[in-house]
Amino acid sequence: MRAMAVRCLITAGPTREFFDPVRFLSNPSSGRMGYALAAAARDAGWTVDLVSGPVSLPEPSGVMLYPVVTAEEMMRQADALFGPCDVLLMCAAVSDWRPASRHASKLKKDGRGLTVELEPVPDILAALSARRRPGQVLVGFAAETEDVEANAVAKLAKKGVDLVAANSVAGPDGAFGSEDNAVLLVGRDGFRRRLGPASKSEVARLLVAEVALRLPSR
């Protein structure tokens, strides 16, 4: 009997949270790490669903791409794909807040300031991990400006995941938008491993290999 391919759900890129039809809150995530993970997972022979926020990257071959814009759309799409997946790599830089309301038409400037009320965005990863099945391997990502390791370890329990891949986004060498990356991978039971500094492709390959070790034998 042929073994079934591992199904891997990856989220990548930023989200955009609009307060009128043309203006939004976002972050500088390029999506490169998530796209590198999609390629590495595909190269490992996995079936890949890639849910991507707006990025300027070519569509990776051999993966199913689901473009989304807002955190709400990302949540719905990830939710629909999560059930059958064996691996979740939640790499997207989801906006933590969104405007509490969205004007139907473009706001006119009148020379005065503008106050936009923000509300928290639901935590997609925490919601998915709350309904995880035995045997699924879940990986969260942490972009930190300080206390990288302590924040990564805290995130393991907070998000209900098996591994957290943390990197520093502080300073000019931070991971956002860069070609290279260095990740501290932490796991429950005290697991620690540094991946890189190396190209995002190489870090992705190493990360996929670590995840593969944690999959139940099939």
For the annotated catalytic residues, the residue numbers are 27
Number of residues that bind ligand C5P (CB under 6 A): 14
Distance (Å, rounded) from C-alpha 192 to C-alpha 187? 7
Q: How far is the CB of 140 from ligand C5P (least distance, A)?
A: 4
Is 143 or 206 the residue whose CB approaches ligand C5P more closely?
A: 143
In 3D space, the residue among 202, 160, 158, 164 whose CA is nearest the CA of residue 180 turns out to be 202
Question: Which C-beta is closer to ligand C5P: that of 106 or that of 131?
Answer: 131
Nearer residue to ligand C5P within complex by CB, 22 or 55: 55
**In whole angstroms, how close is the CB of 215 to ligand C5P at the nearest point?**
19
SS3 state of residue 99: strand
Q: How far is the CB of 28 from ligand C5P (least distance, A)?
A: 15
Residue 5 or 170: the one with the smaller Cβ distance to ligand C5P is: 170
Q: Does 137 participate in binding ligand C5P (rule CB under 6 A)?
A: no
| Site for ligand C5P, residues 57 to 86, rule: CB under 6 A | 71
Enter the DSSP assignment of 54. Answer: S
Is residue 94 near ligand C5P by the rule CB under 6 A? yes
Smaller CB distance to ligand C5P: residue 5 or 147? 147
The CA distance from 24 to 33, in Å, is 23
* Residues 10 and 37: beta-carbon distance below 8 Å: yes
189 in the Ramachandran plot: left (φ > 0), alpha (ψ -120 to 50) or beta? Answer: left
Answer whether the bond into residue 172 is a cis peptide, omega within 30°.
no
CA distances from 190 to 124, 154, 162, 166 (A): 25, 12, 11, 15
- 124 counts as binding ligand C5P under rule CB under 6 A: yes
90 in contact with ligand C5P (CB under 6 A): yes
**Chain residues 148-187 in contact with ligand C5P, contact rule CB under 6 A:** 155, 159
Residue 147 and residue 143: Cα distance in Å, rounded?
Answer: 11
Q: Which two tokens stand for residue 74?
A: 């990302």
Q: Contact residues for ligand C5P (CB under 6 A)?
A: 71, 90, 92, 94, 96, 121, 123-125, 140-142, 155, 159
